[in-house]
Amino acid sequence: MDKENQQSVPVLPWMRHPVDVTRCEQLSLRRVPFLDRRLKSALENMEISNLFPVQVALWQETIGPGNFERDLCINSPTGSGKTLAYALPIVQKLLPTSTVKCLRALVVVPTRDLALQVKQVFDAIALPLGLRVGLAVGQSSVADEISSLIYLPGEEEGVDPGFLSPFWFQSKVDILVATPGRLVDHVNLSRGFTLKHLHYLVVDEADRLLREDYQSWLPTVLKSTQSSNNDYGGDDVFQLGFPYSPWSRRTCSGVERGSNPHSRLAKVVLSATLTRDPGRLVKLNLHHPLFLSAGKMRYRLPENLESFKLICERKVKPLYLVALLKSLGEEKCIVFTRSVDSTHRLCNLLNCFGDLQIDIKEYSGRQHQRVRSKTLNEFRKGQFQVLVSSDAMTRGMDVEGVRNVINYDMPKYIKTYVHRAGRTARAGQTGRCFTLMSNDEVGRFKRLMKKAEASACLEHTVPSHLIEELHSTYQSALSKLKEIILENRRKPKDKSCQ
């Protein structure tokens, strides 16, 4: 249980008076001071003409007068543009040093699909400027992945890198987007993988990444960014008889091997529901942190989000969901349930509704990663309309055209509501979030919504005749589902975990 939801946690002094991001206006690109012209044209190619408030605020603290002198903690609503907010200044800062490939910026996110999404944003603004972006998410083996991140000298000649001091390994990327588990694998196992040139560390979806269930990725990363020079295997280099001091940063051709370890690792920590828990934040070892927040309350819903409650009895909830889906027409929709198993059951049930005529797919941790990524790509392309999902999988997910979110199961915490509803009404677009609940849940929902800075929650009603008309279809859907379950029990266990 997230203890912040249980009790009021004392707030750290530097969090008591945040910079209010909502006081920043959108800014036209041509008025952004010091914006590199190549970066400006990369943004224009992405059809971006203004920076959003959180992007303007971060630009001021990193490229403008702030000049990354303080570590930054940002609490800004879902869909407010946090990814570009950190990607832009980091790319701009790396430009002058892009001649020598060294891993200088690391972005850590909780899920593989989110990492793929963040890498695409970096690719769009960094590749045209000659910077290289890598991915470490476990899509392939550690060995295969490392070869995409590090140039192993002599790899073409078949020289066994095991004989070489890590001193000779050259990074292929300037920026790395990683999930915590695979990142720790590389730090611990991959020869030549080093974080000692790191200048920037971004922790995106920080409240999730700072929870216990991500083990020790953070101390491992912080320790390896501060490791001493002799990690270059100074002795090895002498043993190899090369006339290079282990503290030299120049290769025989005189090319500098990345600047000396940055005097300070600049950190950017972000979330739409940033934790205030001192016990978690202290692990980041922040330097003179500055807190930027949108508005006064911790939880702020997107301005153009409309929230609705739909009250119905539990036993006929599937019928209300079907009636609601039918009323939403062709619009893309994400339906959230409380667990992986209920996601699977609900998706199967909906696909047994004969006359629903809506393509529906499941997206949850129960599926293999490649199935999830394929499903997400199909959803992005509009190849089907409704995604039934569990909570963990959609943090930060940015899918264009999602106009509706439906909470089939009411979220337990406001934080969960914020991240679910935040899949719609992004980047200033409109969106709607419907929450199905029984009469005895209305009070709890009201208390939950009071914790967020948001517009009122309206009641959505479904005409009773529509529900009556669905009863027979519902019964046949249930019998069809029972047949499928019995059929699956008779089949040998499918390892692909579809």
Ligand X SMILES: Nc1ncnc2c1ncn2[C@@H]1O[C@H](COP(=O)(O)OP(=O)(O)OP(=O)(O)O)[C@@H](O)[C@H]1O
> Stretches 49-57, 93-101, 147-155, 215-223: which one binds ligand X (CB under 6 A)?
49-57
Does 91 engage in binding with ligand X (CB under 6 A)? no
- List the interface residues with ligand X, window 179-238 (CB under 6 A): none
Among 24, 32, 35, 52, binds ligand X (CB under 6 A): 52
Min dist. Cβ of residue 349 to ligand X (A): 28
Min dist. Cβ of residue 197 to ligand X (A): 26
Cα separation of 87 and 90, whole Å?
Answer: 5
Among 51, 102, 321, 425, binds ligand X (CB under 6 A): 51
Min dist. Cβ of residue 271 to ligand X (A): 7
Among 180, 258, 396, 431, binds ligand X (CB under 6 A): 396
Does 82 engage in binding with ligand X (CB under 6 A)? yes
Cα 156 to Cα 82, 147, 166, 229, 367: the distances in Å are 40, 12, 17, 28, 38
Min dist. Cβ of residue 83 to ligand X (A): 3
> Which CB atom, from 48 or from 349, has the smaller least distance to ligand X?
48
CA dihedral 470, 476, 480, 486 (to 10 degrees): 120
Min dist. Cβ of residue 49 to ligand X (A): 7
Cα separation of 164 and 147, whole Å?
Answer: 15
Measuring CA to CA, which residue among 476, 406, 463 is closest to residue 437? Answer: 406
Among 84, 173, 187, 452, binds ligand X (CB under 6 A): 84
> Stretches 45-53, 99-107, 232-240, 308-316: which one binds ligand X (CB under 6 A)?
45-53
Does 334 engage in binding with ligand X (CB under 6 A)? no
Residue 492 DSSP code: P
How many other C-beta atoms can be found within 10 angstroms of the C-beta atom of residue 373?
16
Min dist. Cβ of residue 278 to ligand X (A): 23
Among 60, 80, 364, 375, binds ligand X (CB under 6 A): 80
> Which CB atom, from 52 or from 168, has the smaller least distance to ligand X?
52
> Stretches 72-80, 98-106, 169-177, 409-417: which one binds ligand X (CB under 6 A)?
72-80
Min dist. Cβ of residue 348 to ligand X (A): 28
Does 78 engage in binding with ligand X (CB under 6 A)? yes
Q: Report the alpha-carbon angle 413-417-423, nearest 5.
A: 150
Min dist. Cβ of residue 457 to ligand X (A): 20
In which residue are the tokens 């945040």 written? Answer: 18
In which residue are the tokens 């009641």 written? Answer: 459
> Which CB atom, from 114 or from 325, has the smaller least distance to ligand X?
114
Phi and psi, residue 277, nearest 5°: -70, 110
> Stretches 79-87, 95-103, 296-304, 372-380: which one binds ligand X (CB under 6 A)?
79-87
Residue type present at position 221: V
Answer positive or negative: Cα dihedral of 131, 132, 136, 138: positive
Q: Where are the beta strands (DSSP E) in 160-265?
A: 170-171, 175-178, 200-203
Answer positive or negative: Cα dihedral of 181, 186, 188, 190: positive
Min dist. Cβ of residue 78 to ligand X (A): 4
Helical spans, DSSP H, in 256-312:
278-281
Does 50 engage in binding with ligand X (CB under 6 A)? yes
Does 83 engage in binding with ligand X (CB under 6 A)? yes
Min dist. Cβ of residue 256 to ligand X (A): 34
Does 81 engage in binding with ligand X (CB under 6 A)? yes
Tokens of 490: 């008779």
Tokens of 72: 């930054």
Min dist. Cβ of residue 208 to ligand X (A): 11
Measuring CA to CA, which residue among 179, 199, 46, 185 is closest to residue 116? Answer: 179
* 3-state class percentages of the chain: helix first, strand second, coil last, to nearest 5: 45, 15, 40
Among 272, 284, 433, 462, binds ligand X (CB under 6 A): 272
Helical spans, DSSP H, in 95-205:
112-126, 142-149, 180-189
Is residue 272 a contact partner of residue 453, using CB atoms and an 8 Å limit?
no
> Which CB atom, from 81 or from 431, has the smaller least distance to ligand X?
81
Does 53 engage in binding with ligand X (CB under 6 A)? no
Does 110 engage in binding with ligand X (CB under 6 A)? no
Cα separation of 6 and 299, whole Å?
Answer: 16
473, with CB counted inside 10 A (0-12, 13-18, 19+), is: middle
> Which CB atom, from 309 or from 419, has the smaller least distance to ligand X?
419
Q: Which residues bind ligand X (CB under 6 A)?
A: 48, 50-52, 55, 76, 78-84, 272, 396, 398, 422, 426-427
